[in-house]
């Protein structure tokens, strides 16, 4: 979504407010924060936004422009697992309301996402094991995965790397190491739709995150992976909220390189039906452990408060 689309989005939203009399605006996509800010200024309606860890970590001219618009909003909602991404609350410029973490079911992948994944897998034999790997923000984490995990897997799988920032960088990283493995790549940001598309093709997700750097994956991405219906192997330090081992994924102790390789190999050697059942159990457990209802109730209470209609708790209501 580029700068040129903001005026069009503003006009469409303003028309809806005039026609239907909407009382407030909530922005779910940080790319639309400037549009929400314009509506707040010009239409005098309360405006709130949800900030993800990815939105909070973004840098660059576009991100700076988006951040400047945050101060116009009445309140920002940040989930517990994204709070570590806030370096300084003062830099956000808007009151922050911490929301409980929650798992959400993945959407159906778009035809475009499916086509991108299928294009990357062109020529792959159907019976060839396939490991899905989200591209880490920290390149050192990928080097660790390349040098420690890839060459030591007995199952000799292919790898689908998605969210790759630069195909050229990937080719260079693989070429320098002389790695003799089959690596496929899907470039672009990691979205829920892309995860859903990849989940339909891979046998297991492996998350290379041996470090605890600020760029390491957080619960937001990993929670999306665990509800995909595919088993997930990662190190426990990757999670801000650590699920139970073998229930919400295979949690490996940080630094246990042999354990990571053995766990990934073990999942790949499972019969397909057993692997599928493990993935389904991982998804059910995650959705049960991190329910969405408390989040929706918290949103409803905050929205009502901003509109001057606070929600009265059930136990305080007169029968």
Same domain, 149 and 281: yes
Contact 161, 133 (CB under 8 A): yes
- Greater confidence (95 vs 235) lies with 95
% of the chain exceeding 90 in pLDDT? 18
Judgement on whether residues 164 and 221 belong to the same structural domain of the protein: yes
Mean pLDDT of 39-48: 87
Of the listed ranges 117-121, 169-173, 198-202, 280-284, the least confidently predicted one is 169-173
The pLDDT score that the predictor gives to residue 115 is 95
pLDDT at residue 205 above 90?
yes
Q: Give the mean model confidence (pLDDT) for residues 48-60.
A: 79
φ, ψ of residue 283 in degrees (nearest 5): -65, -45
Q: State the pairing for strand pair 232-235/25-27.
A: unpaired
Q: What is the mean pLDDT of residues 109-132?
A: 93
Q: Give the C-alpha separation, 272 to 295, whole Å.
A: 35
Question: Residue 252: which pLDDT band, with cuts at 50, 70 and 90?
Answer: low
Q: How far apart are CA 235 and CA 181, in angstroms?
A: 23
**95: in domain:** yes
Say which range, 48-57, 63-72, 182-191, has the weakest mean pLDDT: 48-57
**Together in a domain, 125 and 25:** no
pLDDT of residue 247 exceeding 90, the answer is no
Asked whether residue 208 falls in the same domain as residue 96, the answer is no
Note whether residue 267 is domain-resident.
Answer: yes
Q: Is the pLDDT confidence value at 239 over 70?
A: no
Assess whether 208 and 282 both reside in one domain: yes
- Residue 257's pLDDT is 82
Q: Look at residue 105 and tell me if it is in a domain.
A: no
The answer to the question of residue 140 being in a domain is yes
Q: What percentage of the chain reaches a pLDDT higher than 70?
A: 82
Specify whether 116 is located in the same domain as 240: yes
Secondary structure (H, E, C), the chain: CCCCHHHHHHHHHHHHHHHHCCCCEEECCHHHHHHHHHHHHHHCCCEEEEECHHHHHCCCHHHHHHHHHHCCCCEEEEEHHHHHHCCCHHHHCCCEEEECCCCCCCCCCCHHHHHHHHHHCCCCCCCCCEEEEECCCCHHHHHHHHHHHHHHCCCCCEEEEEEECCHHHHHHHHHHHCCCCCEEEEECCCCHHHHHHHHCCCCEEECCCCCCCCCCCCHHHHHHHHCCCCCEEEEHHHCCCCCCCCCCCEEECCCCHHHHHHHHHHHHCCCHHHHHHHHHHHHHHHHHHCCCHHHHHHHHHHHHHHCCCCCCCHHHCCC
Task: For residue 116, tell me if it sits in a domain.
Answer: yes
Q: Which residue in the block uniquely carries the two structure tokens 């990662």?
A: 234
What's the pLDDT band for 91 if we cut at 50, 70, 90? low
pLDDT for the residue numbered 121: 94
Range of the domain at 54: 5-100+291-316
Is the pLDDT reported for residue 237 higher than 60? no
Question: Number of folded domains in the chain?
Answer: 2
Looking at the fold, whether 285 and 301 belong to one and the same domain comes out as no
The answer as to whether 106 is a domain residue is no
**pLDDT tens track for 17-27:** 888 777 888 99
Residue 257 shares a structural domain with residue 156: yes
pLDDT at 240 exceeding the cut of 50: no
Q: What is the dihedral of CA 150, 156, 161, 167, to 10 degrees?
A: 80
**Mean predicted confidence (pLDDT) in 214-243:** 68
* pLDDT confidence of residue 99: 84
Which pLDDT belongs to residue 179?
A: 58
| Residue 93 is assigned to a structural domain of this protein | yes
Residues 193 and 274 in one domain: yes
Q: Does 153 lie in the same domain as 88?
A: no
Is residue 262 one of the residues assigned to a domain? Answer: yes
Residues 195, 130 share a domain? yes
**Domain co-membership, 60 together with 92:** yes
Check which CATH number belongs to the domain holding 266 and give it.
3.40.50.2000
Go through the chain and tell me how many residues it has.
Answer: 319
């Amino acid at each position: 979504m580029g700068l040129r689309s903001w005026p069009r989005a503003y006009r469409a939203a303003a028309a809806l407010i005039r026609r239907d009399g909407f009382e407030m605006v909530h922005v779910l996509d940080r790319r639309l924060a400037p549009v929400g800010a314009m509506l707040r200024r010009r239409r005098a309606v309360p405006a709130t936004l949800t900030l993800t860890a990815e939105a909070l970590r973004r840098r660059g001219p576009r991100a700076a422009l988006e951040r400047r618009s945050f101060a116009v909003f009445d309140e920002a909602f940040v989930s517990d697992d994204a709070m570590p991404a806030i370096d300084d609350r003062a830099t956000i410029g808007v009151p922050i309301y911490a929301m409980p973490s929650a798992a959400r079911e993945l959407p159906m992948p778009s035809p475009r996402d499916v086509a991108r994944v299928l294009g990357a897998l062109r020529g792959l034999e159907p019976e060839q094991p396939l490991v899905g790997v989200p591209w880490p923000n920290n390149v050192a984490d990928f080097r660790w995965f390349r040098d420690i995990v890839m060459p030591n897997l007995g199952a000799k799988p292919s790898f689908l790397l998605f969210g790759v920032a630069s195909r050229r960088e990937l080719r260079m990283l693989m070429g320098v190491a002389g790695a003799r493995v089959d690596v496929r790549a899907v470039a672009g940001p990691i979205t829920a739709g892309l995860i859903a598309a990849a989940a339909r093709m891979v046998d297991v997700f492996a998350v290379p995150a041996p470090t605890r750097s600020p760029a390491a994956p957080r619960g937001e991405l990993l929670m999306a992976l665990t509800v995909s219906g595919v088993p997930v192997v990662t190190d426990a330090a990757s999670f801000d909220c650590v699920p139970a081992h073998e229930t919400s994924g295979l949690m490996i102790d940080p630094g246990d390189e042999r354990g990571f390789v053995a766990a990934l190999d073990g999942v790949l050697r499972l019969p397909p039906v057993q692997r599928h059942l493990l993935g389904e159990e991982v998804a059910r457990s995650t959705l049960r452990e991190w329910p969405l209802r408390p989040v929706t109730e918290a949103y409803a209470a905050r929205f009502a408060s901003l509109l001057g209609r606070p929600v009265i708790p059930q136990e305080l209501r007169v029968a």
